[in-house]
Amino acid sequence: MKEAKETGCYTGVAVRRREDERFLRGQGRYIDDLPEPSGLLYLGFVRSTHAHAAIRSINAESARALPGVTSVVTGADLAAWTIPMATPAPDGKKLLRHNMAVERVRYVAEPVAAVLAANPYLLEDALELVEVDYDPLTPVVSIADARKADAPRLYDYLSSNIVFEAKYAIPGTDEAFAKAPHVFADTFSSTRLSGVAMETRGFIASFEKGRNNLTLWSTAHLPHKERWEVADALGLAEKNVRIISPDVGGSFGLKTSTFPEVVAGAAISRRFGRPVKWLQDRQEDLAVMHGRDFQFHIELAVDDNGLILGVRNTPVVNIGAYPMWVTTAGLDAAGAGHHMMGPYKVKHYAYHAMSVVTNTAPTSSVRGVGAPICSFGMESLLTRAAEKLGIDPVEIRRRNLIKKEDLPYKNAVNVTHDTASNVECLDRALERSGFMEFRKTQSGKPGRDGKLRGIGLACMADHTGQGTSVTRSRGQASRWPGYDGALIKIEPDGKAVVHVSVASQGQGHETVFAQLAADGLGLSIGDVTVEAADTASVPFGTGAGASRAAVAAGGAVIKASTRIAEKMKRIAGHMLEASPGDIVLSEGKAFVTGVPNLAVTIAKIAETAYMIGTGQMPKDETIGLDALEYYDPPSSSYAMGTHVAQVAVDPGTGLVTVERYYVVHDCGRVLNPSIVEGQIVGAIVQGIGAALMEGARYSEDGQPLSTTLLDYTIPTTLDVPEIVVDHIETPSTFTLGGMKGAGESGAVGSVPAIILAVADALSAHKPKITTMPLTPSTVLSLMGVR
């Protein structure tokens, strides 16, 4: 791997990651690695053992009596110290979330009481001594339970358990369905997932009474959003809350939520005047860090040639006991409405999205949000349509894909596709995977090892880099605006620090934004540092997530470095007696085009700009070399790709093995091919987990059944095949720099590709696969074995 191209251009090169050395040396600084402030107390939570119950009493006497225990705090105590988080609900009402249960528990593992102790071992002892007496109520666990007319209501002040509804229709959609010669429909669902970031959540909250300031070292994925939510709950000004997200060990969407513990911890630190530390253990993580509990009813209308006439989607999302985002209870449901069309031309479209509350852990968005299940539904129904109409399954996709000649193509939810390499991705994936030949010779047939082989293909598009205009058109205007910021400072010695508003949980921001800034400023990448962790020093912004950091923060870095570069060219031009337009910045120097000897170093320019040397600034030039810029992408931009999975099914055990995997992908301009490929492969492997093994299941009475990593299994080295990644690079015409997002598309395309491959292997049984994971027992039942 090269450090840089000979031209001095870093962007687009597989620059080795600048964060890696500290991680490899064991010098990463995750929450539990940080130095502990003096006077620290350890915080733990007594959690509900019931899915739905009234709290009769809490007896904390023996816990309080234990030496080393400072305090026990109940939900009623906390309610007096915080303002409940209020989310819009139907009929103009607000759904109130207390961060510890008050009078009633609504899910297993809901915090009921908090204990403060001098060390983590004593804390565990004390947590076991708190006795809570419950009066059980009937739990509502599934989407079907929640929607029953006579279902117990989770919130007496709401009219039902449906807490969000949104409808949208292109006029004429129902008529298109009524006239359509063929309609295919089914309900596609996912089993609830857990994120399983390798680092669980945690924080150190430290409130300084004298300054009325809260510092929160937190695993927050969206530090500015968490700052606002914590400030709001505690009645503090945002300026008085500082969130520092140090190294964070993965998120995959889950850590975007402001969870109850962090609000409780902040309030407890303020109340007791002591810093408090909380670390989530893995059992807690697996009991509460959930997402993607979906049932989408999808209908596809096609004509005799397989051309799509219309699509209707009724996505229902089980959000658990309460919304995790204060501003909406419909983040995933509305997203599912929005993401349905993927890479296909759909003229008539309607959705009716809803969220229901149940007595299960509150859910957050998981990588891909609604799109993997939308894509699962779309690809499955297109495959069924092809079979019914006698059209090749590849051909039916090809006929419906958005093509270059369709551009610019405004889709059914009014987002325009700026580029379209869908057909090129499909063709190259067919070629690389040998899809057609495999189907002829191996599909559904037992190999020499007795295993049935199958191949599945999915065309997908992923909505990335959403700007404020699209956010607003989706009615989501909130603390998730759509732009991001970059503050770049060249220090007086000529070396640069880049502060970006997007925090990293492993995506390589310290590298990619340094690449962009180094190129923009003409510096060596070794002279550029990227900082992202601290709300006290980074500009406000939306934050990473929804495949947007490269687009939005990348654009901001380009804008800020361009502004500084222009100033440096003016200063250099003045010093070299040349026109600023003739100055080139490269490798730490400014030189006159075509006269490389006529040069001045950036260090010298900085010295001049800060007036610490004797160099003369141009007349009327301002002091310093820094720039703060925001970039708001004008729209969203669709990344696209084709995924092909090849599987083997053991007919004796029902075990599915993914044997080969191909993806051809277009995420616009690639900033660092190695990092982009890492994102795609990592997301595909999460798709293997979702499709084949993962499930955060509940018993009928609402007890979580998979709270260890032995019960909730994720892919290991033995579950992952060779994954061949190929890029087509079509720069976005919408975004500054041409980037599109790459974080989630792997998670979107892998689910349908793997499931369709299993269906292909089992074709003799004509399975209609509508849910996942395809565990061995599920596969055996699809084969008619009980």
Q: Where are the alpha helices (DSSP H) in 616-714?
A: 673-692
Which one among 40, 86, 169, 720 touches other proteins, defined by CB under 8 A? Answer: 720
In terms of CB distance, is 197 or 639 closer to other proteins? Answer: 197
Q: Tell whether residue 714 is a contact of other proteins (CB under 8 A).
A: yes
Q: Which stretch binds other proteins (CB under 8 A): 80-88, 197-205, 290-298, 588-596?
A: 197-205
Enumerate residues 497-516 that contact other proteins by CB under 8 A. Answer: 505-508
Closest separation in Å from C-beta 720 to other proteins? 5
d(CA 226, CA 235): 14
In terms of CB distance, is 120 or 444 closer to other proteins? Answer: 120
Burial group, residue 634, by CB count within 10 angstroms (0-12, 13-18, 19+): middle
Count each helix (H run) and each strand (E run) in the chain, helices first. Answer: 21, 33
From residue 339, give the alpha-carbon distance in Å to each of 350, 754, 776.
12, 20, 30
Amino acid at 537: S
Which one among 9, 65, 178, 198 touches other proteins, defined by CB under 8 A? Answer: 198
From residue 253, give the alpha-carbon distance in Å to each of 678, 730, 767.
17, 27, 32
Closest separation in Å from C-beta 661 to other proteins? 10
The 10 Å CB-count burial string (b at 16+, else e) for 566-598 is: ebbbbbbbbbbebebebbbbbebbbbbeeeeeb
Cα 155 off chain centre by? 29
Instruction: Print the binding letters for residues 527-556 with other proteins: x by CB under 8 A, - otherwise.
Output: ------------------------------
In terms of CB distance, is 75 or 715 closer to other proteins? Answer: 715
In terms of CB distance, is 423 or 709 closer to other proteins? Answer: 709
The continuous run of DSSP H or E covering 417 comes out as: strand 416-417
From residue 714, give the alpha-carbon distance in Å to each of 274, 308, 709.
38, 36, 8
Q: Tell whether residue 96 is a contact of other proteins (CB under 8 A).
A: no
Q: Are 331 and 358 in contact (CB under 8 A)?
A: no
Enumerate residues 384-443 that contact other proteins by CB under 8 A. Answer: none
Q: Which stretch binds other proteins (CB under 8 A): 99-107, 161-169, 193-201, 558-566?
A: 193-201
Q: Tell whether residue 200 is a contact of other proteins (CB under 8 A).
A: yes
Closest separation in Å from C-beta 776 to other proteins? 18
Closest separation in Å from C-beta 673 to other proteins? 10
Which one among 3, 5, 9, 20 touches other proteins, defined by CB under 8 A? Answer: 20
Cα 250 off chain centre by? 10
Q: Which stretch binds other proteins (CB under 8 A): 22-30, 290-298, 310-318, 540-548?
A: 22-30
Q: Tell whether residue 248 is a contact of other proteins (CB under 8 A).
A: yes
Look up residue 707 and give its two tokens. Answer: 């709270």
Look up residue 291 and give its two tokens. Answer: 């997402």
The 10 Å CB-count burial string (b at 16+, else e) for 371-401 is: bbbbbbbbbbbbbbbbeeeebebbebbbbbb
Which one among 8, 19, 208, 566 touches other proteins, defined by CB under 8 A? Answer: 19
Q: Tell whether residue 28 is a contact of other proteins (CB under 8 A).
A: yes
Q: Tell whether residue 773 is a contact of other proteins (CB under 8 A).
A: no
Instruction: Print the binding letters for residues 265-294 with other proteins: x by CB under 8 A, - otherwise.
Output: ----------------xxx-----------
Q: Which stretch binds other proteins (CB under 8 A): 291-299, 527-535, 596-604, 716-724?
A: 716-724
Look up residue 556 and give its two tokens. Answer: 């901001």
Q: Tell whether residue 24 is a contact of other proteins (CB under 8 A).
A: yes
Residues 6+ apart with CB under 8 A from 65: none
In terms of CB distance, is 32 or 208 closer to other proteins? Answer: 32
Which one among 150, 156, 449, 722 touches other proteins, defined by CB under 8 A? Answer: 722
Q: Tell whether residue 182 is a contact of other proteins (CB under 8 A).
A: no
Q: Tell whether residue 3 is a contact of other proteins (CB under 8 A).
A: no
The 10 Å CB-count burial string (b at 16+, else e) for 510-521 is: bbbbbbbbbbbb
Enumerate residues 651-710 that contact other proteins by CB under 8 A. Answer: 674-675, 677-678, 681-682, 684-686, 708-710
Enumerate residues 108-137 that contact other proteins by CB under 8 A. Answer: 120-121
Residues 6+ apart with CB under 8 A from 544: 221, 222, 502, 503, 504, 505, 507, 509, 553, 743
Closest separation in Å from C-beta 68 to other proteins? 10
Enumerate residues 328-387 that contact other proteins by CB under 8 A. Answer: none
Look up residue 199 and give its two tokens. Answer: 């680092």
Which one among 335, 539, 545, 715 touches other proteins, defined by CB under 8 A? Answer: 715
Question: The dihedral of CA 714, 717, 722, 726: what is its sign?
Answer: positive
d(CA 196, CA 709): 9
Binding site for other proteins (CB under 8 A): 1, 14, 16-17, 19-30, 32-33, 120-121, 195-200, 247-250, 252, 281-283, 505-508, 674-675, 677-678, 681-682, 684-686, 708-710, 714-718, 720, 722-723
